[in-house]
Amino acid sequence: MISVTGKQMKAIDNYCIEKLGIPGIVLMENAALKVVKNIDLDRFSSFAIICGIGNNGGDGLAVARHLYVLDKQVKVFIIGNINKGSGDFNTNYNILNNLGLELVHLDSQEKLEMLNSSLKSSDMTIDAIFGTGLSREVEGLYRDVISSINAYSNYILSIDIPSGMNSDTGEILGIAVKADITVTMQLMKKGLVSNSNEAGKVIVEPIGMPKIAIDSVLNIE
């Protein structure tokens, strides 16, 4: 099985968007649908979804929408400055706002207590904080939130990679989510091969990236 670095995955993503004209929001929607596909909806009916403000967080917001449409109980928590959200994150954020979903911004100890309560009462926690681009140590409120996820969740699904793991090396950057299952997009990540302990069961799901994009970046003939 081919495995890629975060930089390679980003380059494939950019090739799809910039050279082939596949909108990023389409890839995000495909990713969200593949996450939902891997959830046993008979077993899990309530969800705490924790999102960063990048595209991994955007995936989480799109997953929240699909679960909401399926009449599941959904609580969404956002960490980070939403004024700095990625374009596709903002699109999904606005949709959830228009639907009237409560979006809790984790910006205080009081909100952290709300998160802890939701983690304990939810069947599944969905981790959509950091994607494959993380390279710095996890600190401050982010560290507290990941610690809470690990301490209080009943079952954890990470989108693409457990938040806090270096996607190239598998190194834990201070702290990382300990997932029961990780749904990673299109190609296996090298860090998931190096450190499968934190990721649980890893499922690789295609999200519609054409072979030409992958081959061009990886120089496969």
71: domain CATH number is 3.40.50.10260
Which residue do the tokens 């982010």 mark? 142
Tell me which amino acid residue 159 is: I
Average pLDDT over every residue of 208-218: 95
- 164 within some domain: yes
| C-alpha 106 chain-centroid distance | 17
Determine which of 31-45, 147-161, 185-199 has the lowest per-residue pLDDT on average.
Answer: 185-199
54 versus 1: the higher-pLDDT residue is: 54
- 136 within some domain: yes
Domain that holds residue 149: 3-216
Distance, CA of 60 to CA of 63 (rounded, Å): 5
Share of the chain above pLDDT 90, in %: 94
**Counting beta carbons within 10 angstroms of the beta carbon of residue 82, is it exposed (0 to 12), middle (13 to 18) or buried (19 or more)?**
middle
Cβ neighbours for 194, distance < 8 A, ≥ 6 positions apart: 169, 170
Look at residue 1 in the predicted model and tell me its pLDDT.
84
- CB count within 10 Å of CB 151 equals 11
Distance, CA of 133 to CA of 7 (rounded, Å): 8
- Residue 96, pLDDT > 80, answer yes
Reduce the DSSP state of residue 194 to 3 states and report it: helix
Q: How many domains does the chain have?
A: 1
- Residue 221, pLDDT > 70, answer no
Distance, CA of 144 to CA of 90 (rounded, Å): 25
Which residue do the tokens 């190609």 mark? 187
- 221 within some domain: no
